[in-house]
């Protein structure tokens, strides 16, 4: 008798390429993607969800003066009976969710290149600027647990991305995106199976597999 797969809810504010990778990987994984959350009707991720046969929900229009509430996020988790939530290109602040079971993927080194406004191309431009000043030699794809402080939750995966002299922000973005697609589903499964976890309060409680710690040590 096999163990029942955990239910994974994915939030995306863009094309949904990472969401698609999570869905395609699920046949090898201990999770099942049960739904997609988007913030606008025109997100291409919706088309991917339709093609993949995944139910989706479009949230109401967002504004800084009327942000999404803890109750709204919690109602979505309840609706899909999700065990875990994966933010994959989700650009809105998240409140009210369990920090032990909510995770995010970030396209740059944390904490230096995170925080409000640091997403997508903005991250790559900042990283390339730092590289040209001689401050860094690598970017990184990071995955972290989600707390109510933007990009401040414990980082549990760091995959270094070497920056070459000819890289522009666009080129770096393409390389980082490929790394994201290569690692997100695999690492998500480590969280789902309890190989990566924390108590939701103390970052020192973070537990990682040894090979993930080895990869962390490679990040310059």
pLDDT, greater one: 220 or 50: 50
| Mode of pairing for the β-strands spanning 155-162 and 138-145 | antiparallel
Contact yes or no for 49/41 (Cβ under 8 A): no
Domains of the chain: 1-97 (3.40.50.170), 108-142+156-220 (no CATH)
Give the confidence band of 2 by pLDDT, cuts at 50, 70, 90: low
| Closest CA relative to residue 58, chosen from 78, 44, 208, 197 | 44
What pLDDT, on the 0 to 100 scale, is given for residue 218?
56
Does pLDDT of 1 surpass 50? no
Provide, rounded to the nearest whole percent, the portion of the chain with pLDDT above 70.
95
Residue-wise pLDDT tens digits, 28-44: 999 999 999 999 999 99
Instruction: Please give the Cα distance from 125 to 209 (Å, whole number).
Output: 32
Burial of 51 (0-12, 13-18, 19+ CB in 10 A): exposed
Residues 6+ apart with CB under 8 A from 112: 130
What pLDDT, on the 0 to 100 scale, is given for residue 220?
43
Does pLDDT of 215 surpass 70? no
List the structure tokens of 177: 């995106």
Residue-wise pLDDT tens digits, 164-184: 999 999 999 999 999 999 999
Instruction: Please give the Cα distance from 159 to 173 (Å, whole number).
Output: 14
What pLDDT, on the 0 to 100 scale, is given for residue 29?
97
What pLDDT, on the 0 to 100 scale, is given for residue 169?
98
Give the confidence band of 200 by pLDDT, cuts at 50, 70, 90: very high
Going by the DSSP 8-state scheme, the letter that residue 194 receives in this structure is: T
What pLDDT, on the 0 to 100 scale, is given for residue 217?
59
Residue-wise pLDDT tens digits, 77-126: 999 999 999 999 999 999 999 999 999 999 999 999 999 999 999 999 99
């Amino acid at each position: 008798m096999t163990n029942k797969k955990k239910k994974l809810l994915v939030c995306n504010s863009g094309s949904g390429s990472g969401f698609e990778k999570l869905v395609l990987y699920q046949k090898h994984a201990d999770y099942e993607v049960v739904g997609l959350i988007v913030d606008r009707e025109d997100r291409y991720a919706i088309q991917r969800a339709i093609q993949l046969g995944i139910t989706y929900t479009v949230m109401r229009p967002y504004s800084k003066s009327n942000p999404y509430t803890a109750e709204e996020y919690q109602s979505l988790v309840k609706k899909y009976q999700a065990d875990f939530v994966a933010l994959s290109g989700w650009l809105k602040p998240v409140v009210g969710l369990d920090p032990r079971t909510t995770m995010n993927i970030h396209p740059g080194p944390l904490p230096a290149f995170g925080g409000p406004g640091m997403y997508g191309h903005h991250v790559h431009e900042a990283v390339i600027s730092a590289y040209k000043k001689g401050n860094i030699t690598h970017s990184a794809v990071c995955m972290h647990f989600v707390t109510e402080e933007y990009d401040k939750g414990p980082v549990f995966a760091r995959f270094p991305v070497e920056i070459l002299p000819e890289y522009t922000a666009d080129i770096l973005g393409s390389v980082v995106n490929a790394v994201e697609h290569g690692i997100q589903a695999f690492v998500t499964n480590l969280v789902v199976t309890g190989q990566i976890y924390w108590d939701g309060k103390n970052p020192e409680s973070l537990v990682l597999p040894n090979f993930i710690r080895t990869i962390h040590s490679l990040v310059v």
